[in-house]
Amino acid sequence: MKGISYITDGSNKRRAVVIDLKTIELHDEDVHEFIDVLVAESRKNDEKVSWEDAKKVLKKKGKI
């Protein structure tokens, strides 16, 4: 996609991404989906919490 560049290390491995702000404006939905995938991927090894436990915590915090 135009407007997206990668920063690589000495062995040419991708280490960071730079997104042109105009690209975000033009392809808002695609860029946000890309970010959602990155967040999901970064959390795939997080501790799992059951829905029942999550509801208890949210209720205790007054969120639901």
Q: Is a pLDDT exceeding 80 seen at residue 1?
A: no
2-35: pLDDT as tens digits: 888 999 999 999 999 898 898 888 888 887 898 8
Q: How far is CA 18 from CA 45, 53, 55, in A?
A: 25, 38, 37
pLDDT at 19: 86
Model-level pTM greater than 0.75?
Answer: no
Is 5 in a helix, a strand, or coil?
Answer: strand
pLDDT at 34: 85
41-53: pLDDT as tens digits: 999 999 999 999 9
